[in-house]
Amino acid sequence: MEKKSFILYVDTAKQVDFLTDEEAGQLFKALFRYVSDGKEFVTDNRTLAIVFSAIKAQIDRDSKKYVEISNKAYIISVPLRKNSLLMRRESQQTCFWVFTATGAPSTR
């Protein structure tokens, strides 16, 4: 997954409350491993596996939604960035006023 963060919702506290402190610690470490390395959590403890799979599903949904929103924002920003770059280039160009023999100004 290669993420630097994830959201852990308070709603999951109800399921985590059923776990012992040791199991909760294993779950917490497993979630970090999953988000940082994509490693699936393997355990013989069915309760722990169920809680992990529920939180994993939420992390996956959040990640998918984040990617979709990021892609849309990028698509929208490309023309804006190009326009901004053009405006910057135009504003950096220097305009010289030259007076002709008739006295009428012209730009060069």
Helix (H) or strand (E) holding 91: helix 46-92
pLDDT interval class at 17 (50, 70, 90): very high
What's the pLDDT band for 7 if we cut at 50, 70, 90?
A: confident
Q: With respect to residue 3, please indicate whether it lies within any of the assigned structural domains.
A: no
As a whole number of Å, the CA-based R_g of the chain is 28
Inside any domain, residue 2: no
Q: Left (φ > 0), alpha (ψ -120 to 50) or beta: where does 38 sit?
A: left
Residue at 15 is within a domain: yes
pLDDT of residue 1: 45
Query: Residue 14 domain-assigned?
Result: yes
Q: How far is CA 24 from the centre of its chain?
A: 27
Burial track 62-94 (b if 16+ CB lie within 10 A, e otherwise): eeeeeeeeeeeeeeeeeeeeeeeeeeeeeeeee
Task: Record the pTM.
Answer: 0.61
Residue 39 counted as domain residue = yes
> Has residue 5 been placed in a domain?
no
* Domains of the chain: total: 1
Please state the rounded mean pLDDT for residues 35-61: 93
**What is the average per-residue pLDDT within 76-85?**
64
Instruction: Please report whether residue 69 resides in a domain.
Output: yes
Does pLDDT of 59 surpass 80?
yes
Residues of the domain holding 46: 10-107
Please compute the mean of the pLDDT values over residues 75-93 and round it to a whole number: 62
43 within some domain: yes
d(CA 76, CA 74): 5
Lowest mean pLDDT among 25-34, 61-70, 86-95: 86-95
